[in-house]
Structure 1
Amino acid sequence: MAFNLHKNGSPEGTSESNSKFDLSKNVAATGGTVVDRKRSNLLIYIVIGLLTVAGTAWYLLSNRGVPIEKTGAVSATSDTVETPAMSAKSTGAIDEVEKVVSAGSEKVSSQDEKAVNKIPAQFASGASSFNNLDKRIVNDIIAYLVNNSSARLEVFGYASSEGSVAVNQSISQARADAFKNYLIAKSVKADRIKATGNGIANPIASNDTESGRRKNRRVEVRLN
């Protein structure tokens, strides 16, 4: 039995030839695609590298300016920020001022208590019992005597010009004694109080009017 190899191989040869041609063509196409991909990847790497370099340069440049800004901020605020030494100095100055003011206030208060006459009580006409008592002044007197053990108190009694001089003198003394006894009842020692009647001397208002005479019927106190 015989076969026509040439006949049957011709198509196969043609097919093989075509297959070889097609294979080389496909290989060429595949090789071009790989090259294009490599080029694309290379470009991407280059772009990424450039961006990295640019970002690093920007970061370094921006950080280089920070110390300058901080230095400027410190110098700008250095004139207004209060240091501990300044604060201590200011506090010391305030304390000194307060001491001076306090000392001045105490001196004025002491002078007022010792030099200024005070009128704690007033009296009706012909009476030796006071009808008007200023308890605030009384409390101040007692507090001063308690806080100053060496202090002494003078009580002066006065009368208006009504009646005779002798009667007014007697009434003024009785008024001074009445106020002294009142303070003794408030626990002030008798030997710290001196009571003196001054009659119609040293009027503080006119004796020509009833309101003036009412003011003159009084006791005054002086702290020594």
Structure 2
Amino acid sequence: MIAMTALSPTPDAAVPPPLTDLPAGLEEACATTPRDMAATLAFALARVAGQDRRGVGLALTRAWLNEHGRPYGPGLARFGRAEGVLLVVCRTQAEALWAMEQGLRSGGLSLMLGGIEGADLTQTRRLDFAARDGASAGMLLRTRTGDLSAARRRWRIAAEASGSDADDVRAPGPMRLMAELTRSRGERPGVWMLEMEDETHRLRLADRLAGHGHGPVGRTARAA
């Protein structure tokens, strides 16, 4: 998405994949390091279709919360979810998979996020089917790559230094992140520097200088 206009979920070659609305189905986003998980969560939330007023669900294990912390409620609310955010705390990954599948299939959520590392090909295929049945988007939040998966897109996300503030050079500007599309069924992989629009909490190309974003695949732009 860009800051001022809603984009169609239909793929468009002129629109970089990280700026399109999340379609019904399953995607994965991998935080490059543990400190990048907050940016990974923001990347998912910012891509929910603006006209979709359904709530967002999170199925997170206790181990995930111990590693990354509990999401900050007021921060989540700034993404404009009229129906709020549902947090399901699970003891095991099996419970989180079940909760995520039920949330996707219910049709009551625009996006269901799962902090699940060990989902295999069969389990991710079930999540993708459930998401399409419920006309919802699913996103697995992971810290490793390489597992077999039915996810339609796979991302690697890295937090970047914020941009500059136009009114105060001493103040931090928009939050920035690097999004690398490592696998997709319908788009060419690439790397894009993105920033958050403060008023709308939507993503846009940082400084509008990212072009088509095609870059080295298999490593983040931080290391490029």
TM-score range, shorter chain: under 0.3
Give the helix-richer structure, 1 or 2.
Answer: 1
> Normalized against structure 2, the TM-score is what?
0.26
> Normalized against structure 1, the TM-score is what?
0.26
Higher relative CO (CA 8 A, sep ≥ 6), structure 1 or 2? 2
Structure number with greater Rg is: 1
Give the strand-richer structure, 1 or 2.
Answer: 2
